[in-house]
Amino acid sequence: MAKHVVITGANRGIGLGFVKYYLANGDSVSACCRQPAQASALIQLAESHPNLTIIQLDVTDETSVQALPRHLNDAPIDLLINNAGYYGPKGIGFGQLHAPEWQKVLAVNTIAPLMVTQTCYPMLQKATNAKVVCISSKMGSMADNQSGGSYLYRSSKAGLNAALKSLAIDLSSEEIYCVAFHPGWVQTDMGGPNALITVNEAVAQMAECIDKLDAGQSGLFLNFDGQVIPW
Ligand code: NDP
């Protein structure tokens, strides 16, 4: 059965990959991005896909987030993908830590996914076995941290993972399943050209896992291929 999929940061990179994947699957996609007028790839896709809606959303802007239910006509959401993310300025190590920059990274990566999910909650409740996916990163794994550094990004994704775990527990009685993914090292503006996998590879594998996501997996931190990643 066709799903309604809502994706943040949908204008480029992994988010755009998810848009293409679910459109090809015959689903209805609400693609959220900061500047719809400049989202040329989405505009082009919308010309041939009437089931694609482009929605303005800056995930850190409260007014923009609050407008989401109106843009979505309060329609049931089967799958919410909190994908929008921000690495922050590179090369900020211990000694150069800068609180306002850190707050920006936390705002996009940690706080926004939960605020967007909270705003979408009534629409998630309207679907049967709705799913909430947060695109996290292995860099947020404490167990995986062998090299130090990347304070801003690492802490923001570790915080997202902690919040996701609570969300999964809190929504389990309503059978809304929540999971965090490491998408792999992916060839995007953020991942760079030397990254190991393409957007299509990452998205196809995560989508396969999302399809199978059930109560037993809710609250886990998964690699794009479905392997569990230690926190
Ligand atoms: P990109 O940098 O290519 O894209 C980031 C997306 O997030 C863009 O659509 C951007 O919009 C959007 N975004 C950033 N800030 C906001 C905001 N305030 N409101 C709305 N949208 C915003 O990154 P990727 O596609 O590579 O990353 C997608 C996700 O995957 C992120 O969460 C990232 O942390 C995670 N990830 C990526 C990895 C990789 O190797 N690529 C590895 C591990 C995790 P705009 O165009 O307007 O800036």
Asked whether 83 lines ligand 1 (CB < 6 A), one says yes
The pLDDT assigned to 37 comes to: 98
Domain boundaries, the chain: 4-223
- The residue written with tokens 């915080």 in the block is 159
Q: Supply the ipTM of this predicted assembly.
A: 0.99
20-28, long-range: CB within 8 Å, 24+ apart, which pairs?
Answer: 20/45, 20/203, 21/200, 21/203, 21/204, 21/207, 22/79, 22/207, 23/49, 23/51, 23/52, 25/207, 26/2, 26/51, 27/2, 27/3, 27/51, 28/2, 28/3, 28/4, 28/52, 28/53
State the pLDDT confidence band at 1, using cuts at 50, 70 and 90. Answer: confident
Q: pLDDT tens digits, residue range 160-198?
A: 999 999 999 999 999 999 999 999 999 999 999 999 999
Q: pLDDT tens digits, residue range 91-124?
A: 899 999 999 999 999 999 999 999 999 999 999 9
Query: Other CB atoms closer than 10 Å to residue 118's CB: what's the count?
Result: 12
What is the topology classification, in CATH, of domain 4-223? Rossmann fold (3.40.50)
Atom of ligand 1 nearest to the CA of 17: 25
pTM: 0.98
Mutate to test the pocket of ligand 1, among 20, 63, 83 (most ligand atoms within 8 A of CB): 83
Q: pLDDT tens digits, residue range 36-88?
A: 999 999 999 999 999 999 999 999 999 999 999 999 999 999 999 999 999 99
Mutate to test the pocket of ligand 1, among 6, 8, 14 (most ligand atoms within 8 A of CB): 14
* Pairing mode of beta strands 177-182, 131-135: parallel
- The residue written with tokens 């996914």 in the block is 113
